[in-house]
Amino acid sequence: MTAVGALGDELRRGMYAFIRRARRPVTRDEAAASVGISRKLAAFHLDKLVDVGLLRTRADAPGRVRTVGRAPKLYEPVPDQIQVSIPERRHELLAEILADAVLAEDGERTARETAFEAADRRGTALGNADRDRHRPGRLGTERTLTLAAETLEDLGFEPERAAPALLLLRNCPFHPLAAKAPDLVCGINHRFLGGYLEGLGAADAATAVLQPESGSCCVRLCATDPSGAGPQ
What local confidence, expressed as pLDDT, does residue 79 receive?
75
List own/partner pairs for 208-217 with CB under 8 A and 24 or more apart: 210/186, 212/182, 212/186, 215/170, 216/168, 216/169, 216/170, 216/171, 216/172, 217/157, 217/168, 217/169, 217/170, 217/171, 217/172, 217/173, 217/189
What parts of the chain have a pLDDT lower than 50?
82-85, 227-232
**H/E element holding 207?**
strand 206-210
CA distance 221 to 144: 10
Q: Which residues contact 101 (CB under 8 A, 6 or more apart)?
A: 111, 114, 115, 117, 118
Rg over alpha carbons for the chain, rounded to the nearest Å, is: 20
What local confidence, expressed as pLDDT, does residue 125 receive?
96
What local confidence, expressed as pLDDT, does residue 216 receive?
81
Over residues 147-177, the pLDDT tens digits come to 999 999 888 888 989 888 999 998 888 877 7
What local confidence, expressed as pLDDT, does residue 70 receive?
65
Full-model pTM: 0.66
Domains of the chain: 3-77 (1.10.10.10), 91-223 (3.30.1380)
What local confidence, expressed as pLDDT, does residue 213 receive?
81
Chain centroid offset of residue 27 CA: 23
